[in-house]
Chain A
Amino acid sequence: MTPNEFQSLLREWCQNDFDGSEGWLELKHDVEFLAQELYNEYDVTRHGGHGNFSVRLARWIGSADAQSDQQSLYTMLRHLVFLGDKELVAAYRTAYSKHVLSWLMKIGRVNVFAPNARDLMNSLLNRTLLTQITDSFGLRRFLTTNSIQGQPVRYTWLEHEHDWDRDNFTAAHLKLSDPNRRDLIVLFEDFVGSGSQMEDHVERACSIGGGTSVLLCPLYICPMGAQMARDFVAMYPHLTFSPVLEIPDEKFIYERQKPEEHSDFANIRRTIQAVHTKVVEQGSALQDYGPFGFGADGPYGKSGGFVVMSSNCPDNTIPAIHRKRTGHWEPLFLRNSREPI
């Protein structure tokens, strides 16, 4: 479908919505505004002939055959949570100025009105090792955004997934017996979905002992990941969990209807299940997590999100939004995956 064809179709939907109960006009207005102000920030499709947002939107809607599915896809945009570049910078600044510094003030019992507060905070910061779970957090940019000096090591836990050794890590990065020891560890991550990717690394950080304290500070976290983090806090008293934004459960759709879910979700659920055979080739060995994307089963089955970050699309977002299958399905926000796809 071309953008012109899609506009014509959308006009028809608005025209037929005679009493406004479908809300097409308001949604169209919002999408056009956000397309201009936000959605065009999406990095993965910026180059490579993917087309701008309006081109991708038309192709995406045109990937579905039935008009009811096309309408459900468009309705998904009402629920889309797009975290753009400005939001990322704001989250970086909040993570440091609010979450990290508050944690340090609490640990060091710093009275901010005391004359030596600055010195105390500096000494606490010198005891802190800022790390990232995966490189998608962008530790380098975090440090420059917050003007943090003197962090020569930018430790990424995922890089040491297979050869991590507690003693080596402690000796190389914490130097716990040294006067210049670092016994305060911060684990950052940009986005946590189910938590499976952070699980091992949080456990490792918490198992170091030797009087270390750990702060887990994801910028954005989904309900399942947040629950996992809270379970860790219950297990490890020296772990603090302080996310910048916990995305509420209402922003996720479940395999089975949840009480008080949004009235749009019934149609969306039907559509994402109906189009999944187009989105992913049946029997494909490559990343087929089902219509709701990556994640474990919950009380209402698997859940899928509508979250997109300007840097990439998480894998627990509905695959119909981010998955490409040449000749069958065009994504709205193509995901750049670590795994073969």
Chain B
Amino acid sequence: MDGKKNPFSNLYHTESLSTDHFVKIFSPKLLRESRTHELFQPGSVVLTGLQGSGKSALLNLLKPDVLIAYQKSEEPWPLPKHCSKFLSASIVLRSSGALDFGQRAIPQETQEETENKKVLGLFFGDFLNYWIIDDLLNNVDLLGSPEGSTLGEFLGLDLSIEKLDFFASSLKKDSCWFGVMDDVEDYEGLRLKVKHRISGYESYLNYNSDFPNDYVNTKTKPGAPIGCVADALKGAGLIPRDLPVFVTIDQFEDLMDLERDEKGNAAPTFRSVIIRMLGDRDRRVSYRVGARPYSLSKGLQGFGNNAFTEEMREYEVVDIRKVLEGTESRKTLFQEFCEDVLERRIKFSGFSSTSTEDVLKTVFGSRPTVEEKVDSFIRGSRTSVVSKDFPASDAIRNELVTIAEKDPISAKLGEAWVRQNIKKSEISKELVREQPWGKRTYWKKERKQQALLQVFSACRQRLAWYGAHDIVLLSGKNIFAFLSICQFIWAENMRSNDYEAYELPEQIDPHIQSMGIHSASEHWFRKVRAEPKGGDDRHRFINVLGTFLRDRLRNDKNMSYPGENGFSLSSGELEKQVFIEDFIESCVEFGVLEHSAHTSKSKSRGQSQKWHLSSILTPYFQVPTPHTKEPFYASISDVNKWMQAALIVSPGPVISDSKAKRPKTASNNTQLDLNFRFGEED
């Protein structure tokens, strides 16, 4: 494999690339959606999306060094014209040192736990204030430097030393500092003061010094000094009065790790500090918070004042998944997004293509029909396609077997058609020979995926996925899943071919693609368990649910329920069972289930919702991916049974005594099972 390169070996490019490389690999397709423009316009925004959905990449565009790299590169300016001007600061919570607050307790004056948390939150807010201000002033300096002056001029900055010093002298008078800035004489002194404050925290949290006593009486209010700095920059004429100031806070969910105390309780102290910043309606600064859905739990209140923040009033929520969802009137951008991301990755890795077709189709081929899938994968006899327990005469059965040799999908559909109609009308072998089900276009279309599943199952083959269409579909509007599938297919292709290192593989063999997709799906299924906040529970639950759905689809030989690769619940019924509702919601927030509204055919169910397995998990469970027809109409009791079978324990009354056993999983029997001896002696 030496010399070969997998363009997808690094899935998280945003965090590891230099700005020069970032501009080459970043796909601006998402910026064609007006919802994303809110990130670059005044007003606070919570940007949410699953792991790897592109939050950090979008937020990166707010950084001046990235925009400077765009100016220097041949790549077109990524931002819409009407929202290209702003000054920004950003903090990535994990890499900033903010998480060090979990490393050492800050001395408290009181033993009262609630009070302690309040004081700790204030110190955390104080640290954030100084860190963000430092970054904001770093960016001011960058825009005044030869490297950033072109962007600085574009933004209308006027960064003379006199103005900077004036800025410092007017800023220090503000009461928000509680006297910390009193002895600041000039801009340089201000910068040093800010840096010194941060290093005081860093030094203490890393056990290098005692806690600085003067911090105890000079804690700043979350967000207040940042607004003062923005005001003072404008007051001093350093930046235009109408230039918005943005503050990005990324990886909000990481704060949850800080919030669990020794007893396992998790009061959202740290997250509420950021919620407070959003909720203060300080129009001088707009915040952008990058967060995974599960971190935005219900009822998050502002720190100290317990005020609930209001979506639409204090901030807008931009959900990347929703941005990528198409509507009846508007096609989703996801396919184009995938194409662009793929093209950039392979170009960045040095591959060259001579094809004029779009790169997705060049590499993975176009959409195969179900019949083509059967032809590619079912090589042996196809007579087993027609069930042995087929409740019709031998003559009819034999007719279907003959059809199966040529067209197993049609034979399987024919079997279902006969099963559905045999009691209603007389069916002869001559009629079957004419394949009347072939004329029922919609009936056939709705059942093709189920027929495919049943054909593969009857021939004892794994269901196959391949081709550009399947790959985009399996990615489920999640670019991270798309990259992951590409990574596995590419790796499988590299293991299977001796192609030249920089020659773009074209129309990768369907068997290789299918293998890569199955490996990716298995990887994602394993990954469910590793996720925080109940990953193990969700892993067991999805195992039970996926197996249940697959078995129903396989065993439904009449094909009466071809859409049952998902389930629906009445919203009213669900709302009464908070534990189940929360659990299902956590499955959605962690990307294990996909959720959508459901218009039930049964009026008595009222308003309903439906859930499907996350698309990337469908190959693992051998369940068709597309969401068509009516899902399984589940009751709360059904969901309860699945949860019981998955050993998910409820504190409430719904979950009664369970005789369910933990689902059998094959023992790994790997060397990881070995017991190293640390505590015994012979």
- What 1/0 mask marks residues of chain B from 458 to 481 whose CB sits below 8 Å from any chain A CB? 011110100000000000000000
B522 CB–A CB distance under 8 Å: yes
Contacting residues, chain A, for B523 (C-beta < 8 A): 29
Do A18 and B666 touch across chains, with their CB atoms under 8 A apart?
no
Query: Which of A16, A18, A241, A246 contacts B457 (CB under 8 A)?
Result: A18
User: CB within 8 A of A16: which of B461, B491, B495, B622?
Assistant: B461
Query: Please, what's the 1-or-0 string for A290-311, where 1 marks a CB less than 8 Å from any CB in chain B?
Result: 0000000000000000000000
Tell me, yes or no, whether A66 is within 8 Å of chain B by CB.
no
Q: Mark A133-165, 1 if CB is under 8 A from B, else 0.
A: 000000000000000000000000000000000
Q: Does A11 lie at the interface of the complex (its beta carbon under 8 Å from any beta carbon of B)?
A: yes
Write out the residue numbers on chain A whose beta carbons fall within 8 Å of the beta carbon of B542: none
Alpha-carbon gap, A106 to B681, bound state (A) = 11
Contacting residues, chain A, for B394 (C-beta < 8 A):
none
Q: What's the least CB distance linking B261 to chain A, in Å?
A: 30
Is A7 a contact partner of B677 (Cβ separation < 8 A)? no
> By the criterion CB–CB under 8 Å, are A15 and B377 in contact?
yes
Are B495 and A54 in contact (CB-based, < 8 A)? yes
Per-residue 0/1 for A235-268: is the Cβ within 8 Å of any B Cβ (1 yes, 0 no)? 0000011111111101100000000001000000
Q: Mark A71-103, 1 if CB is under 8 A from B, else 0.
A: 000000011111100000000001000100011
Residues of A within 8 A of B677 (CB): 242-246
Contact indicator A16/B676 (Cβ below 8 Å):
no
Interface: A3 (CB within 8 A): yes
B514 an interface residue at 8 Å Cβ cutoff?
A: yes
Closest to A79 in B: B669
Give CA–CA (A14, B521) in the complex, Å: 14
B456 part of interface (Cβ distance < 8 Å) = yes
Check B519–A28 contact: CB distance below 8 A: yes
Minimum CB–CB distance from A220 to chain B (whole Å) comes to 9
Which A residues touch B515, using CB under 8 A?
11, 14-15
List residues of B (627-682) whose CB comes within 8 Å of A's CBs: 666, 669-671, 674-678, 681-682
User: B676 touching A94 by the CB < 8 A rule?
Assistant: yes
For residue B133, give the distance in angstroms from its CB to the closest CB of chain A: 44
Partner of A240, one of B462, B495, B670, B681: B681
B496 close to chain A: CB less than 8 A: yes
Within 8 A of A (CB), among B479-528: 491-492, 495-498, 511-512, 514-515, 518-519, 522-523
**B682 x A233 contact (CB < 8 A):** yes
Q: Is A104 an interface residue (CB 8 A)?
A: no
- Please give the distance in Å from B1's CB to the nearest CB on chain A: 8
By beta carbon, the residue of chain A nearest B494 is A7
Contact A15 B522 (CB under 8 A): no
Given contacts A54-B495, A78-B669, A233-B682, contact A18 B676 (CB under 8 A): no
| Residue ID in chain A nearest B682 by CB atoms | A241
Write out the residue numbers on chain B whose beta carbons fall within 8 Å of the beta carbon of A98: 678
CA distance in complex: A15, B464 (Å): 8
Q: Cβ of B496: which chain A residues have Cβ within 8 Å of it?
A: 4, 7-8, 11
Whether A18 pairs with B682 at a CB distance below 8 angstroms is no
**Given A3-B495, A15-B377, A18-B457, A29 contacting B519 (CB threshold 8 A):** yes
Q: Given A11-B511, A230-B682, A240-B682, are A245 and B498 also a contact pair (CB < 8 Å)? A: no
Q: Is A30 an interface residue (CB 8 A)?
A: yes
Cβ of B519 and Cβ of A18 under 8 Å apart? no
A17 to B515 alpha-carbon distance, docked (Å): 12
For residue B456, which residues in chain A have a CB less than 8 angstroms away from its CB?
18
Within the complex, what minimum Cβ distance (angstroms) separates B546 from chain A?
11
| Chain A positions within 8 Å of B675 at CB level | 246, 248
Query: Is the CB of A26 closer than 8 A to any CB of chain B?
Result: yes
Task: Report the minimal beta-carbon distance from B356 to chain A, rounded to whole angstroms.
Answer: 30
A25 to B678, CA, bound (A): 34
Asked if A209 is at the interface (CB within 8 A of a chain B CB), the reply is: no
CB-based contact A15/B682 at 8 Å: no
- Rounded to whole angstroms, the CA-CA distance of A197 and B459 in the bound complex is 54
A108 contacts chain B at the CB level, 8 A cutoff: no
Give the distance in Å from the alpha carbon of A7 to the alpha carbon of B496 in the complex: 6
Q: Closest CB-CB distance, A214 to chain B, in whole Å? A: 13
Q: Closest CB of chain B to A247's CB: distance in Å?
A: 7
Query: B495's closest neighbor in chain A, by CB?
Result: A7
Q: Which chain A residue lies CB-closest to B511?
A: A11
Among B491, B514, B518, find the residue whose CB has the most chain A CB atoms closer than 10 A: B518
Residues of chain B contacted by A18 (CB below 8 angstroms): 456-457, 459-462, 622
Hey, which chain B residues are within 8 Å of A83, CB to CB? 671
In whole Å, how far is B463's beta carbon from the nearest beta carbon of chain A? Answer: 8
- Judging by beta carbons under 8 Å apart, are A30 and B670 in contact? yes
Q: Are A242 and B678 in contact (CB under 8 A)?
A: no
Do B666 and A15 touch across chains, with their CB atoms under 8 A apart?
no
Task: Give A102 to B456 CA distance when docked, in angstroms.
Answer: 60
User: Given the known A-B contacts A26-B522, A241-B682, are A82 and B498 also in contact in the complex, defined by CB atoms under 8 Å?
Assistant: no
Chain B residues near A54 (CB, 8 Å)? Answer: 1, 495
Roughly how many angstroms separate A269 CA and B81 CA in the complex, as a whole number? 71
Check if B674 sits within 8 Å of A81, measured CB to CB: yes
Q: Are B682 and A244 touching (Cβ within 8 A)?
A: no
Closest CB-CB distance, A260 to chain B, in whole Å? 12
Q: A229 vs B677: C-alpha distance in the bound complex, in angstroms?
A: 16
Contact of A245 with B674 at beta-carbon distance under 8 Å, contacts A11-B511, A18-B460 already known: yes
Q: Point out the residues of chain A lying under 8 angstroms from B459, CB to CB.
A: 18
Taken together as a complex, chains A and B put the C-alpha atoms of A32 and B515 apart, in Å, by 13
Separation of A136 and B459 alpha carbons in the complex (Å): 53
Cα(A250)–Cα(B675), bound, Å: 12
| Residue numbers in B under 8 Å from A7 (CB-CB) | 492, 495-496
* Contacts A/B (CB < 8 Å), 21 sampled: A8-B496, A11-B496, A11-B512, A14-B518, A15-B462, A15-B464, A15-B515, A16-B461, A18-B460, A18-B462, A54-B1, A78-B670, A79-B669, A81-B674, A82-B671, A94-B678, A106-B681, A230-B682, A242-B681, A245-B677, A246-B677
Q: Which residues of B contact A (CB under 8 A)?
A: 1, 377, 456-457, 459-462, 464, 491-492, 495-498, 511-512, 514-515, 518-519, 522-523, 622, 666, 669-671, 674-678, 681-682
Additional pairs, 11, CB under 8 Å, beyond known A11-B496, A240-B681, A245-B676: A8-B511, A18-B456, A18-B460, A29-B523, A32-B491, A54-B1, A54-B495, A79-B669, A82-B671, A242-B677, A244-B676
